[in-house]
Amino acid sequence: MAKAKQDQALNNTFNHKIVYAAILIYLALFFCQKVQFVTADLGRFIQNGAVFFNEGNLLQSNHYSYTEPDYFFGNHHWGVGVLYYLVEKINGFKGLSVFNILLILGSVWLFMSSLFKSVKPGYIALAVILCIPLINWRIEIRPEFFSYILLGLYYFILWRFINSELSFKRTALIIFPVMLLWVNVHIFFVIGLSLLGAFWFCSLFLEKYKSHSRQLSILFGGSILVSLCNPGGIWGLLEPFMIFKEYGYMVAENQSVFFMQNRYLGDPKFWYMEAFLLLMFIAAIYFLYKKKQGAEIDDAFVIKCFLLLCFTLPAFAMIRFIPVLGLMSIPFAAHAMQLWENTETAFFKKDGLHIKAMGLALIMLFAGFFLPANGATRYWNPLYNKPNMGFGIQDGIDRSAKVFKQLNIKGPILNNYDIGSYLIYYLYPENKVFVDNRPEAYSVDFFKKTYYPLHESEEAWKAIDAKYKFNAIYYFRHDNTEHGQPFLIRRTINDPDWAPVYVDAWTIILLKRNEINKSIIDQHELPQSMFKKK
């Protein structure tokens, strides 16, 4: 009894709240990075919001492109555009950065909150620290962050419900409206449905939660029906299962862990993920075995084991799911550490183990600031990219767009995939883009028969140039695709029909030598010596 009171007192001390605050501040620093706006999707999202308010259009066709303007696509994130537009209007890009940080902190806090009544603070703190390299996998401002916090809310609410701390009526009044929002802000709404389905499935087999099975089925089925309330209807509901089949352009975020690992052998991030998950699965197998032998291990841990498996599979299939796995791993890791303390073993003395875990979390937190900003340790060092720390977009990154507009350069513009959203933000509606970084908004044939050939073949380039009559080439300079740099070199150095008139750290602009561009080229043409290797 005395020990129980002591543990309860520990869970209510002011000290662990300070540690939680320190961890959240530490986590926030990873996301205090200025946006490399040239290749980010953010500009297009904001412009979507502007189009919604100014034109009343939810954009179900390829509105920004002159190449395939009528191509239909499911705009599963139209709501994000509205929210981003409003935040940017009120507080600018810096406000968007702060907003994004609040979303990730809110999501982590919700997962932590689900543990406060069952797991000691030291284990919660250490679990968050261990999961940070997975959570900070993607740090730029993206719609996924809405999914992270909504997933955290679902997770928190569902645990309260199955533990009889929240009535079915109140649970439904939260779950259904949140799903209505979720299905209209991001395609990851399907993760919310998956979480509901997983809780319902587990309740069918776990004695402790069988009484909630019927109500969970209602929440699950009702959420599926609510998901139909999106601009695409049934198509919008099914889109998460079909969208990736349509891609004509290989997107890094949609590749598997093993594919990326083979491509970037020197990146230790993947090795950490695999080692961490191996440890988690060993813990899951060990404690499930102990439960089968009669150890007092709650059914809640069985659910967390099932969730770990469910969220590991998509994370390995597509790296964009890794932060979701990181968030879902927090409660599992913390619960596993709590079970380690509660389970009899002769390995070592476990008295005060939770205090040692808290101490280790603090040591890792403070040590992170002094670890090398390269190699495996950079994922615990929030200062790994100190020159780029801050809010908003990188300084001067809008310069090329300003020059383009000041010189009154006319289209049609040929741009590469990466820079599309940047051009949409700055040049729409005066100029439309050739392509942008939404592979789902362009046909597979467009990429296979137009985009790739014009970069890879001079014969195809001449034919496609004749078809579209390009007047300007506006590219992200650091295109790392196999065809990107060779194409730029051919146009910049070897093609007398094109003149480079602007270049900076991110972009390059070339104009066709014709009467329309003659005066601009005469005044602004850059010397060939700038582009030839010395």
- Give a three-class secondary structure readout of 85-127: HHHHHHHHHHHHHHHHHHHHHHHHHHHHHCCCCCCCHHHHHHH
Tell me what pLDDT residue 1 has.
44
- My answer on whether 209 and 241 are in the same domain is yes
Query: Residue 145 has which token pair?
Result: 């962050």
Phi-psi category of residue 13: left, alpha or beta, with phi > 0 → left and psi -120 to 50 → alpha: beta
Tell me what pLDDT residue 128 has.
96
Residue 394 lies in a domain: no
Residue 355 lies in a domain: yes
Pairing of strands 498-503, 472-476: unpaired
Do residues 39 and 211 touch, judged by C-beta distance below 8 A? no
Q: What's the CA angle centered on 370, arms 106 and 324, to 5 degrees?
A: 30
Residue 16 lies in a domain: yes
**What are the backbone angles phi and psi of residue 389, rounded to the nearest 5°?**
-70, 145
- My answer on whether 362 and 443 are in the same domain is no
Domain finish residue from 357, 387, 417: 387
- My answer on whether 165 and 267 are in the same domain is yes
| Dist. CA 320–CA 97, nearest whole Å | 20
**276-300: b (≥16 Cβ within 10 Å) or e:** bbeebeebbeebeebbeeeeebbbb
- My answer on whether 198 and 130 are in the same domain is yes
- My answer on whether 356 and 497 are in the same domain is no
The mean pLDDT value for 496-509 works out to 93
User: Alpha helix (H) ranges present in 163-185?
Assistant: 168-182
Residue 393 lies in a domain: no
Domain finish residue from 338, 353, 387: 387
pLDDT grade, residue 113 (50/70/90)? very high
The conformation of residue 526, written as its DSSP 8-state character, comes to: P
Does 341 or 447 have the greater pLDDT score?
A: 447
- My answer on whether 192 and 168 are in the same domain is yes
- My answer on whether 410 and 300 are in the same domain is no
Domain count, the chain: 2
CATH of the domain at 424: 3.40.50
- My answer on whether 77 and 198 are in the same domain is yes
- My answer on whether 369 and 406 are in the same domain is no
The conformation of residue 499, written as its DSSP 8-state character, comes to: E
| Dist. CA 529–CA 534, nearest whole Å | 8
The mean pLDDT value for 457-485 works out to 92
Helix (H, G, I), strand (E, B) or coil at 165: coil
* Residue 227: HSE in the Cβ half-sphere, 13 Å Cα cutoff: 23
- My answer on whether 346 and 206 are in the same domain is yes
Do residues 60 and 69 touch, judged by C-beta distance below 8 A? no
Q: What's the CA angle centered on 530, arms 525 and 531, to 5 degrees?
A: 100
Does the pLDDT of residue 525 top 50, yes or no? yes
> Which of 216, 222, 116 lies closest to 158, judged by CA?
216
Helix (H, G, I), strand (E, B) or coil at 511: strand
- My answer on whether 228 and 354 are in the same domain is yes
Full domain range(s) for residue 489: 399-530
Instruction: Give per-residue pLDDT as tens, 185-234.
Output: 999 999 999 999 999 999 999 989 999 999 999 999 999 999 999 988 88
pLDDT grade, residue 351 (50/70/90)? low
Helix (H, G, I), strand (E, B) or coil at 360: helix
- pTM of structure: 0.91
The mean pLDDT value for 333-354 works out to 75
Do residues 255 and 319 touch, judged by C-beta distance below 8 A? yes
Instruction: Give per-residue pLDDT as tens, 254-280.
Output: 788 888 888 776 678 888 889 999 999
Domain finish residue from 325, 352, 387: 387
Query: Residue 218 has which token pair?
Result: 């209602």
Do residues 270 and 256 touch, judged by C-beta distance below 8 A? no
The conformation of residue 26, written as its DSSP 8-state character, comes to: H
| Dist. CA 67–CA 411, nearest whole Å | 13
Does 351 or 336 have the greater pLDDT score?
A: 336
Residue 361 lies in a domain: yes
pLDDT grade, residue 12 (50/70/90)? very low
Q: Which residues are paired to 35 by β-bridges?
A: 393
How many CB atoms within 10 Å of residue 95?
16
The mean pLDDT value for 49-77 works out to 87
Query: Residue 278 has which token pair?
Result: 């191996």
Residue 112 lies in a domain: yes
Residue 477 lies in a domain: yes
Do residues 181 and 79 touch, judged by C-beta distance below 8 A? yes
For the chain, give the mean pLDDT. 89
Tell me what pLDDT residue 13 has.
53
Residue 212 lies in a domain: yes
Tell me what pLDDT residue 345 has.
54
- My answer on whether 126 and 239 are in the same domain is yes
